[in-house]
Structure 1
Amino acid sequence: MQKPRLAAAGIVLGTIMLVVSLCSAAAYAQGGAAESAWPTRQWLTSTPEEQGMDPAALAKLVEFGATRSFDSLLIVRHGRIVLDAYYAPYAADIPHTTNSTTKAVIGTLMAIASKDGLLDSTDRRMLDFFADRSVANVDERKKAVTVQNLLDMTSGIDWEEPLSGRPVSMIAMERSPDWIKFILDRQMSSAPGDIFNYNSGNPHLLSAILTGLTGLSASDYAKARLFGPLGISTWNWRRDPQGISTGGYGLALLPRDMAKIGYLYLRHGEWEGKPLVPAGWVEKTRHATVNMNSSRSPTLRYSNLFWALPDKKVYMAVGYHCQVIMIFPELDIVAVTTARNFCPFGKMADDISGAVKSETALPPDPAGTNLLAGVIHEVSTEKPSEVGAMPEIASSISGKTYKFPSNALNVRSLSLTLAGPNPHYELEMNSRDPTAPALKFAGPIGLDGLFRKSDPTAFGVAATKGRWLDGQTFVIERRMLGADAPLQKWTLGFDGGRLNLRGNDRAGLEVSIVGESGD
């Protein structure tokens, strides 16, 4: 008599589990309100099929990333990571510069300051926060600029930083001794609120305003009120000459931590069930209305330092060269990319949305799973390049320090040790700021066709390898992992105590310089 009872109990239990599963899926479809898996300590992972996504479609996304110089591609659905790919030699534990995604973090901190009661209104006028400064070119338009104008890139401050073109004003700001003064003293080109004009000075003013409101740098305020609650413990953040955290760019985060920022917005500003960012702020950001006047993407909109593609039902934090956090509220998805090249947002949004096949779990797909695993393995495995035979000169030049006069490559000195069990280099570079000390770098060199990684530095992790072309010519390739910077490739010609170094400058022009060893 016990067996029928057990069978009946199993049927009831199975029915209950099915109902719970369906209810959970429905909750996810409505924005994940019932989601209880918070990634504060670590992310949960899942197969794509368990979250209704096609692994073969995700494999195509990973392959696409390889054609666009991606460093990472990460997708979260229903609070679980379903795709986590890293392109060699970049790796998951290296913070990646986020470029202008920093702006969205500054916007988020302003939202938290508002919730904390430190900012009474985004309608407060900008100049109220800089009453201790003497500001040039003040007119009625400049007096009318508000915090919200800074958040929406509608301040009207004269600024040249086109979305596709040379950021003239940003470069001039970098060269100035006081960035805040440089921005505040600019003339006005339009009335505040009239027109969108991309301007990295706007969020830098917000960073200074945050410091005035909180008594902390944006980095320290983030540690206390954003990064800390989200469980983000690893980051780097640049500062201007006065020590203000750079507001327009300069923040480096791990891709998985970038996803936490997106997940906070996906969960309507809540974290572990507690409000962190006001829900109204999230809604305004999600339903952005400021026209970005983009000829390439006419539907692009802007709000609170976030971009939006309303027709794709996605909004995002965007940094130069595809440092992106994409948020898909209706699909309960966060996607993160880090890269060293441009990527088409619309295509990415379509491809990610297209990988969603169901709001509930799909049957296991062994073929698709194997395909995805194979593609991830392919992009994450470094392929060795050709190497040449080591010539006799390798021993005689090892340990010598070659010093260079002022040059367009900013190389001050270079020392190579290429003979022996531990090939390595020591490099001094002149800073772009002529008053700053030289920048020193050191690390191992791979002579087997594979990169060797340096210890972490404030600039990232340097991956370096080299090969001999002939008895006197050595080619060295160096990449700063996690930095949006091109591969640095130098051809070195040794001639007695002289070293001829050829490479490209920041403008891409080939430069040849000669150094002397002094021996």
Structure 2
Amino acid sequence: MSVPENQGMGSRELAALVDFGARRFAAGPGLTPIPQFDSLLVTRHGRIVLEVYYPPYGAGIPHHLYSATKAVIGTLTAIAFKDGLLDRLDHRVLDFFDRRSVDNLDSKKEAITVQNLLDMTSGIEWTQPLDESSFESAIEMAHSPDWVKFVLDRPMSNNPGEAFNYSNGDTHLLSAIITKITGSSAWEYAEAKLFGPLGIVDAFWVHDPQGISEGGDGLFLKPRDMAKIGYLYLRNGEWEGKRMLPSTWIDRVNHATISVSYPPGIHYSDLFWAFADRHVYMAVGRRGQVIMIFPDLDIVAVTTARIDYSLREFADLISSSVKSDTILPVDATGAKLLANNVSDASTEKPTEVGPPSRMASIISGRVYLFAPNELNLKSLSLVLAGPQPHYEIETYATAATKSGNRFSSPIGLDGLYRKGKLSYHGLGVWLEGVPRVEAVKGAWQDNETFLIDRLLLGLGNSPERWTFTFNRNRLNLLIKIGNWPEISIDGQTNG
């Protein structure tokens, strides 16, 4: 790690960037405010100048990239093209699926090329607006038994290349094409051709029912590994003297030409977004998962987060921190300010905790049973009396898991989160099988009501508030997640 001034950057400006990430937000009424960032990392001239982890998130936890996954799918497509597995980018897409029967087949669909998929201009009808007002088509695909068939069978809304239309379907077809031409999943191909050479470890990639890596938003990486992807692009597709990406590919990403109506001033190319007026391009996932590349400044910046933020404001803060291309004089005052801001942002602040309830010893260890419900919660036990407060949960079997699962998490009773171990089990069907670390703290609201604040670290999702209301042998569990409708389920114990 380098002193910012040694890389021509100002510590005072980077201190403001740390504060930007520390801005607190409440995802919904009654929810405890948390920092908008999980992590922030900035490199210049190949050296880390700033690295912050906002608690309770920590460096070793793989983070869901959401749609920043798409940029990795594009990168793998470029590698396959360089290696000759993909002969040309204008190759017709349906040629890779010639053994499939495709519905709504017409001349428009027959004309779709790989490049159209890379630019989100396939013309395939798809409802997934960038303002996130609807995820209709992506949800329908996720619920279908064959995702590739779901996309290929859809009608056409435009001629290929005619209009930009954001689509998880386009990138899932790219993932399927990678599987077709390499004989392995995108994850396996990435391990061999991208993650391995870059030293990326502990990646995780969700897949569809046929084992095809989810092309739209299924990848998990740690922040430093995200920065390695950015650095590969910053170095024009070379890594340790070896060319991994075609130079023509980097040039297209560097000069994105496809206009996007929302947000304004953004262009698109090969699954990367760009501020054309600032020569900045980036991989972007919902809720602030970003790999931002500044070719003119020799900078890569990475964030993992829990809320969408102004990418232009972030880019401006980065740019304003650059003072020179050479070493700057030591700024003792700025260095102290930066160190204080990093220390403050990295230190969890306890929330207020009221007195314990007499109910704690009564309900501690009791097992509450639940009828089948939307969370698949079968049983729950709170252990609040003793040196290691925690909860234990058992879930119902699902079609995906075939059997129920058991998991537990520690609970902080002093106003600070306690973190469990990396787990792949959780409540709700969509959370089963993806990595996360639970961070939990609890406090008594009154003698009969216990509150839990719960974060699933690495998922970048909304905070949760669990309200336990005890009434003799009965328990009402009310769960609020962000601005989603509350979930209320009732359980009971035999003692």
* TM-score category of the 2 structures, normalised to the smaller one: over 0.9
**Where do 1:26-425 residues align within 5 Å?**
45-67=1-23, 69-164=36-131, 165-294=133-262, 296-297=263-264, 299-425=265-391
Output one character per residue of 1:380-419: Cα deviation in whole Å (capped at 9) or x when no partner.
1111112233333222212222122244555332211111
What amino acid is aligned across from residue 104 of structure 1 in structure 2?
Answer: A
Output one character per residue of 1:278-309: Cα deviation in whole Å (capped at 9) or x when no partner.
11111111111111122x41x21111111111
- Aligned partners of 2:462 and 2:482 also within 8 Å: no
What amino acid is aligned across from residue 202 of structure 1 in structure 2?
Answer: D
- Compute the displacement of 1:501 (Å): 1.2
What amino acid is aligned across from residue 274 of structure 1 in structure 2?
Answer: K
Distance 1:61 1:493, change over 3 A: same
Q: Which residue of the partner structure matches residue 486 of structure 1?
A: 462
Find the aligned partners of 2:85 and 2:299 in 1 and give their Cα distance. Answer: 32
Find the aligned partners of 2:449 and 2:322 in 1 and give their Cα distance. Answer: 52
- Aligned partners of 2:462 and 2:481 also within 8 Å: no
- Aligned partners of 1:408 and 1:505 also within 8 Å: no
Distance 1:260 1:169, change over 3 A: same
Q: Which residue of the partner structure matches residue 428 of structure 2?
A: none
Output one character per residue of 1:449-492: Cα deviation in whole Å (capped at 9) or x when no partner.
11111111233110111111222211011111111211111110
Output one character per residue of 1:166-215: Cα deviation in whole Å (capped at 9) or x when no partner.
21110111111111111111111101000000001111111111111111
Output one character per residue of 1:97-116: Cα deviation in whole Å (capped at 9) or x when no partner.
11101000000000000111
Find the aligned partners of 1:483 and 1:252 in 2 and give their Cα distance. Answer: 9
- Aligned partners of 1:217 and 1:244 also within 8 Å: yes
What secondary structure does 1:337 align onto? strand
Identity of counterpart residues, as a percentage? 56
What secondary structure does 2:129 align onto? coil
Find the aligned partners of 2:160 and 2:398 in 1 and give their Cα distance. Answer: 34
Find the aligned partners of 2:392 and 2:376 in 1 and give their Cα distance. Answer: 15
- Aligned partners of 1:173 and 1:182 also within 8 Å: yes
Find the aligned partners of 1:509 and 1:261 in 2 and give their Cα distance. Answer: 37
- Compute the displacement of 1:507 (Å): 5.6
Output one character per residue of 1:208-261: Cα deviation in whole Å (capped at 9) or x when no partner.
111111111111110100000001012111111111111110111110110000
- Aligned partners of 2:169 and 2:216 also within 8 Å: yes
Q: Which residue of the partner structure matches residue 427 of structure 2?
A: none
Find the aligned partners of 1:433 and 1:161 in 2 and give their Cα distance. Answer: 27
- Aligned partners of 1:467 and 1:474 also within 8 Å: yes
Find the aligned partners of 2:458 and 2:482 in 1 and give their Cα distance. Answer: 18
Distance 1:343 1:505, change over 3 A: closer
Find the aligned partners of 2:248 and 2:400 in 1 and give their Cα distance. Answer: 46
- Aligned partners of 1:101 and 1:317 also within 8 Å: yes
- Compute the displacement of 1:505 (Å): 5.4
Find the aligned partners of 2:410 and 2:330 in 1 and give their Cα distance. Answer: 44
Find the aligned partners of 1:276 and 1:314 in 2 and give their Cα distance. Answer: 21
Aligned length in residues: 473
- Aligned partners of 1:445 and 1:452 also within 8 Å: yes
Distance 1:252 1:393, change over 3 A: same
Q: Which residue of the partner structure matches residue 407 of structure 2?
A: 441
- Compute the displacement of 1:433 (Å): 6.4
What amino acid is aligned across from residue 405 of structure 1 in structure 2?
Answer: A
RMSD of aligned Cα (Å): 1.6
Distance 1:58 1:239, change over 3 A: same
What amino acid is aligned across from residue 356 of structure 1 in structure 2?
Answer: V
Which of 419, 427, 448 is residue 472 of structure 1 equivalent to? 448
What amino acid is aligned across from residue 49 of structure 2 in structure 1?
Answer: V
Return 469-478 or 268-277, whichever deviates more. 469-478
What secondary structure does 2:200 align onto? coil
- Compute the displacement of 1:512 (Å): 2.7
What secondary structure does 1:469 align onto? strand
- Aligned partners of 2:66 and 2:289 also within 8 Å: yes
- Compute the displacement of 1:437 (Å): 4.5
What amino acid is aligned across from residue 220 of structure 1 in structure 2?
Answer: E
Find the aligned partners of 2:151 and 2:128 in 1 and give their Cα distance. Answer: 13
- Compute the displacement of 1:347 (Å): 1.2
What secondary structure does 2:277 align onto? helix
What secondary structure does 1:335 align onto? strand
- Aligned partners of 1:409 and 1:503 also within 8 Å: no
Return 146-155 or 341-350, whichever deviates more. 341-350
Q: Which residue of the partner structure matches residue 514 of structure 1?
A: 490
- Compute the displacement of 1:266 (Å): 0.3
Q: Which residue of the partner structure matches residue 471 of structure 2?
A: 495
Distance 1:163 1:89, change over 3 A: same
Q: Which residue of the partner structure matches residue 462 of structure 1?
A: 438
Find the aligned partners of 1:283 and 1:432 in 2 and give their Cα distance. Answer: 47
- Compute the displacement of 1:441 (Å): 3.1
Distance 1:435 1:231, change over 3 A: closer
Output one character per residue of 1:130-153: Cα deviation in whole Å (capped at 9) or x when no partner.
112111111110000000000000
Query: What TM-score do the two structures reach when normalised by structure 1?
Result: 0.88
